[in-house]
Amino acid sequence: MGFFTFIKVMMILFNLAIFLGGGALLGVGIWVTVDGQSFVKIFGGISSTVLQVVNIGYFLIVIGAILLIIGFLGCYGAQKESKCLLMMFFSVVLIIFIAEVAAAVVVLVYTSLAETFLTAVVTPILKEKYGDDHEFTHIWNVTMAEFNCCGLNNYTDFEGSPWYEQNKNFPPPCCEGLSPCSASLVATNVVQGCFDQILEDIKTNADVAGGVAAGIAALEIASMAVSMYLYCRLDQK
């Protein structure tokens, strides 16, 4: 087996795995979108919160579809030795790679801007819906309990909310689980806002996240290099 053939086989197997993984994610995404309740029954209450926060069904459908396209272009392009498909594969992976780098730069550089934006958007919603919308309130209660945080920035996010107007106190997580969470008690229990708490958790796990990101980037660069190698070798055949 020559080097060209070896690279071609590896390209096919690698992208076949991507194609199958994409198909699996697409299937799960469709399942969650069509029958989310059965998904919740299997994976529990946390999945319910995730479903409501990020609408994970559509997210999985998009990611699954992208992986299907990438896997098909790479696998079929290598198998048929199609320069057109190999170039399309290279282009799609390159676009994704550039988008990931741009997203990483935005996250690192504009974290404070993101906090300002989220404060402007989320805080008014908290004041409007918390204590009035049952599902919205449940999502925030679970989030605050999981991350040991209070509101987006702090307890003042709940001032004027339906919950505060009805109970004249703040959510228990703002007082480390103590209830009733009065104004005097919440002032002595300085619980961090969820935005800062999530950022701290991300920084704590930055090494793991960085390792995963570096691994994904390395795979993307390797796949682009291999596809370009096959593309250039086809000119010589």
Q: pTM to 2 decimals? A: 0.58
Q: How far apart are CA 151 and CA 4, in angstroms?
A: 57
Q: Position of tokens 């290279």?
A: 90
Q: What is the DSSP letter of 170?
A: B
Q: 189 or 16, which is more confident?
A: 16
Q: How far apart are CA 24 and CA 41, in angstroms?
A: 20
Q: Amino acid identity of 93?
A: V
**Over the stretch 67-108, which tens digit does the pLDDT of each residue have?**
899 989 988 888 888 889 889 999 999 998 898 888 777 766
Q: Which of 71, 99, 91, 97 is nearest to 13 (CA)?
A: 71
Is the Cβ–Cβ distance between 59 and 25 less than 8 Å?
Answer: no
**Over the stretch 111-147, which tens digit does the pLDDT of each residue have?**
666 667 767 777 888 888 888 888 888 888 888 888 8
- Secondary structure tally for the chain: helices H, strands E: 11, 0
Average pLDDT rounded to a whole number, residues 195-209: 69
pLDDT of 43 above 50 = no
Q: 58 or 210, which is more confident?
A: 58
For the chain, strand residue ranges (E) read none
Q: How far apart are CA 102 and CA 236, in angstroms?
A: 36
The pLDDT assigned to 13 comes to: 87
The pLDDT assigned to 205 comes to: 62
Q: How far apart are CA 211 and CA 31, in angstroms?
A: 31
